[in-house]
Amino acid sequence: MYLTPLCWEAWEAYFRERGYKTLAPAWPLHGTAIAAQRQEHPSARLGALTLGEILASYRALISGLPEKPILIGHSMGGLVVQLLLAEGLGVAGVAIDSAPPQGLLSFKWSFVRSNWPVLNPSADPGTPIDLSFSQFQYAFANGMAEPAQRAAFTRYLVPESRRVGKGPTTDVAKIDYTRPRPPLLLIAGTADQIIPPSLNYSNFRLYADTPAVTEYREFSGRNHWLIADSGWQEVAGYTLDWLRGSAQ
């Protein structure tokens, strides 16, 4: 949420250099220039976008690939990975700072404050969210130097659909945790405020009865922006090592 495929630019280069073909397809309405998306706010079309439509776009893309892909997603994209993997649409999945599946919530203050633009009962669900810089600082980039925060905000942030944000509370986000599926790695940052590590760990524990490989890893001091903050290579490297090991 709130991002375009540009947020994966460093990861794509990292994996391509190591022999992988990478794809970073945009969510519906997220494929145009960032400046254009900001200028269109508030977009009624974006306001109507749902998590179900995002999942459908990925199903269609995967069906046209010559082989099943490795799936890597961040935040709401992490939930997308879990849902697609449960359908058998990937050979392995990595869910980083994942939004929770249906039925899982956190009552930590940082979670409530960070997600208030989605949780606010008085907000019009059809009006997209345009995060302010201060909201981004708290929810995504806490602990970073302000110049780095501003650079990330300017380069990557776009308005987002509230309906997508509410997706985890709907049946679209329901997962059968006992169902066999390919290997899944859940990654958390201990300093993440919008998806606290306790929520990620609770997500991991839901898979306790599955016969499938499910692993959990926390990165100390990492915030929600751990896929692009300085030191992101540590997370990418661990991901690559795990993927290679899970294929054995």
Residue 79 has pLDDT above 80, yes or no: yes
Instruction: Give the model confidence (pLDDT) of 159-169 as tens digits.
Output: 999 999 999 99
| CB-CB contact of 247 with 92 (8 Å) | yes
Pairing of strands 92-96, 184-189: parallel
Q: Cα dist. 3→10, 87, 155, 157, 229 in Å?
A: 14, 25, 10, 5, 14
Note the pLDDT of residue 25.
97
Instruction: Give the model confidence (pLDDT) of 3-55 as tens digits.
Output: 999 999 999 999 999 999 999 999 999 999 999 999 999 999 999 999 999 99
pTM: 0.97
Question: How would residue 247 be classed by pLDDT, with cut points 50, 70 and 90?
Answer: low
Domain that holds residue 139: 5-246
Instruction: Give the model confidence (pLDDT) of 104-159 as tens digits.
Output: 999 999 999 999 999 999 999 999 999 999 999 999 999 999 999 999 999 999 99
Q: What is the domain count for the chain?
A: 1
Residue 228 has pLDDT above 70, yes or no: yes
Note the pLDDT of residue 246.
83
Note the pLDDT of residue 195.
98
Note the pLDDT of residue 248.
58
How many Cβ atoms sit within 10 Å of the Cβ of residue 122?
A: 4
Note the pLDDT of residue 172.
98
Establish how many alpha carbons lie within 13 A of residue 139's alpha carbon, considering only the half-sphere containing its beta carbon. 21
CA torsion sign, 191 to 192 to 195 to 200? negative
Instruction: Return d(Cα 1, Cα 180) in angstroms, integer.
Output: 28
Long-range contact set of residues 82-87: C-beta below 8 Å, sequence gap at least 24: 82/175, 82/184, 83/55, 83/172, 83/173, 83/175, 84/55, 84/58, 84/59, 85/181, 85/182, 85/184, 86/175, 86/176, 86/179, 86/181, 87/59
Average pLDDT, the chain: 97
Report the DSSP beta bridge partners of residue 72: 94
Instruction: Give the model confidence (pLDDT) of 84-119 as tens digits.
Output: 999 999 999 999 999 999 999 999 999 999 999 999
Instruction: Return d(Cα 208, Cα 198) in angstroms, integer.
Output: 16
The CATH number of whichever domain residue 167 belongs to comes to 3.40.50.1820
Extract the tokens encoding 190: 């201990």
Note the pLDDT of residue 184.
98
Instruction: Return d(Cα 118, Cα 136) in angstroms, integer.
Output: 14
